[in-house]
Amino acid sequence: MHEFSLVQGIIDAMQETANQKGGKVLSFEVRVGELSQFDIRLMRELLKELKAGTPLEGAKVSVRPEKSKIRCVSCGKVWGFSDVIRPMSGDEREVVHFFPELMNSYTRCPSCSKSYLEIEEGRSVRIASVSLDV
């Protein structure tokens, strides 16, 4: 369960931020990329549990999915991941879902038909915003 380690890191980072700023975290937002392979529902539950009994206990937490962006290196067009994988078979979609780096082997740019695509967004988990009472 990688979510536990990740959420513990988020809690630690929020406590460190509060300590450095000399304040209290009122709220924070976490964005989870659709290609990150993390279970958002589980992350919400773990954040709720792991902040209990800490200085973050009263903080409002928002965990939101973040759509990915795929850019064609050849023509520069930017697409959503769902647009790029739509023409794939079910088996190909499953492979690319678990190994997004392989998308170039299974699809082409919907605009120029070249096969050199890069993931620009949607692979990470990040703290998008923090509200402090200082």
CATH of the domain at 128: 3.30.2320.50
Are both 75 and 52 inside the same structural domain?
A: no
Are both 107 and 126 inside the same structural domain?
A: no
Total domains in the chain come to 2
Rounded CA gap, 93 and 3, in Å?
A: 24
Q: What's the pLDDT at 94? A: 87
Q: What's the pLDDT at 1? A: 60
Are both 75 and 60 inside the same structural domain?
A: no
Q: What's the pLDDT at 86? A: 86
pLDDT per residue, tens digit, the chain (134 aa), is 689 999 999 999 999 999 999 889 999 999 999 988 899 999 999 999 999 999 999 999 999 999 999 999 999 999 998 888 888 899 998 898 888 889 889 988 889 999 999 999 999 999 999 999 97
Q: What's the pLDDT at 84? A: 84
Are both 18 and 6 inside the same structural domain?
A: yes
In SS3 terms, the chain reads as: CHHHHHHHHHHHHHHHHHHHHCCEEEEEEEEEECCCCCCHHHHHHHHHHHHCCCCCCCCEEEEEEECCEEEECCCCCEEEHHHHHCCCCHHHHHHHHHCHHHHHHHCCCCCCCCCCEEEEECCCEEEEEEEEEC
Are both 62 and 32 inside the same structural domain?
A: yes
Are both 48 and 89 inside the same structural domain?
A: no
Are both 95 and 115 inside the same structural domain?
A: yes
Are both 33 and 96 inside the same structural domain?
A: no
Rounded CA gap, 33 and 53, in Å?
A: 28
Chain centroid to CA 114: 27
Q: Which residue range is the domain that position 112 belongs to?
A: 69-121
Look at strands 60-66 and 24-33 and give their pairing. parallel
Q: pLDDT of 39-75, one tens digit each?
A: 999 999 999 999 999 999 999 999 999 999 999 999 9
